[in-house]
Amino acid sequence: MAPKLLKANSKAESSIASKTKDETVAWPKLQPIIPSTSLELTEILPDQIFTISNLWSTKLCKQYVSFLSSLPLMTTPGRPKKGEAVRVNDRFQIDDPGFADRLWNETALQELVTGNASGMSKEQQQAVWGGLVVGLNPNIRVYRYTKGQFFGQHYDDSNIVTIGTTRGHTTWTLLLYLTSPATGCTGGQTVFYPEADEPKKGTKTKIQPQPITVELEVGMALLHKHGSDCLLHEGLEVTSGEKWIIRSDLVVI
Ligand SMILES: O=C(O)CCC(=O)C(=O)O
Ligand SMILES: [Fe+2]
């Protein structure tokens, strides 16, 4: 049976720690950065999941974890509203078009997603990303999971987003992992549950594909399709250390 639809309780996001429009975050410089020529977009599951190892250097991740620790993170309540995913983590959110733009332009992300470095033609790119990618969602979310914290099974929604004067919508979730077992964080893997194919003619049994477990890696970006084609997924419980993530989304027109 298909699992009940669980949303990543986007409405609850308004109650998490956030900065008002006038406030800004003094994000550290995005340096040192690794050039796109040394990186690649790796397909984990066709049309659903890609990763980019070392999008952020280890040094940059370390600087950011120490900086992000100074932000006023708030723990989300463990008891969700009806139909929402259970999650417990410490979160911070800001609407910051400037930082979203830097994350897109000052790292190898743009070149790997929409440039020659993607290894895809322009037509292939538009088919995969669900349109012409114009940048990242200015809604930047920072998550910290400590021992015992997790993000239960859910689907991510697509949202309408304006970048500058361009109105678009989000199609893929971007997760940037800043910690891993190498920094003392165990558990916390992101797990995806691909849907079973329709049963073959004359048979009734659907073959349930194996879940896909993405291990944490310092500086790795993960992209996964969201909205109506989103796979059920979760962030497993952290068993030691701290898992830090920066989340945004690809915006297309
Ligand atoms: O923390 C994770 O591994 C998953 C996060 C997630 O699913 C989300 O932000 O929607
Ligand atoms: Fe999610």
Give the pair of three-digit tokens for residue 191. 């797990």
Tell me, in angstroms, the distance from the centre of ligand 1 to residue 198's CA.
Answer: 28
Per DSSP, the three-state class of 125 is helix
* Residues 57-69 pLDDT 10s: 999 999 999 999 9
Residue 18 CA to residue 182 CA, distance in Å, equals 30
Domains in the chain, CATH or no CATH each: 44-76+85-197+206-252 (2.60.120.620)
Of 22-26, 33-37, 183-187, 192-196, minimum mean pLDDT range: 22-26
Which of 5-14, 83-92, 125-134, 194-203 has the lowest average pLDDT? 5-14
Please give the pLDDT value at position 78. Answer: 59
pLDDT computed for residue 20 by the predictor: 53
Interval between CA 201 and ligand 2 midpoint (Å): 34
Residue 25's identity, in one-letter code, is V
CA 117 – CA 135 distance, rounded (Å): 16
pLDDT at 15: 45
Measure the CA–CA gap between 94 and 99, rounded to whole angstroms: 10
State pLDDT tens for residues 197-229: 877 777 778 888 999 999 999 999 999 999 999
Residue 108 has pLDDT above 90, yes or no: yes
Q: In this model, does residue 2 exceed pLDDT 70?
A: no
Nearest to 249 by CA among 4, 3, 38, 10: 10
Protein residue with least CA distance to atom 7, ligand 1: 234
CA of 95 to the centre of ligand 1 (A): 18
Q: How many other CB atoms are there within 10 angstroms of residue 97's CB atom?
A: 17
In this prediction, what percent of the chain has a pLDDT beyond 70? 89
| Ligand 1 near 247 CB (within 6 A) | yes
pLDDT one-digit tens code per residue, 25-84: 999 999 999 999 999 999 999 999 999 999 999 999 999 999 999 999 998 875 666 667
User: Which residue type does 224 have?
Assistant: H
Q: Ligand 1 pocket test: which of 150, 158, 177, 190 has the largest number of ligand atoms within 8 Å of its C-beta?
A: 190
Mean pLDDT within 105-113? 96
ipTM entry: 0.99
Q: 212 CB less than 6 Å from ligand 1? A: no
User: 79 CA to middle of ligand 2, Å?
Assistant: 17
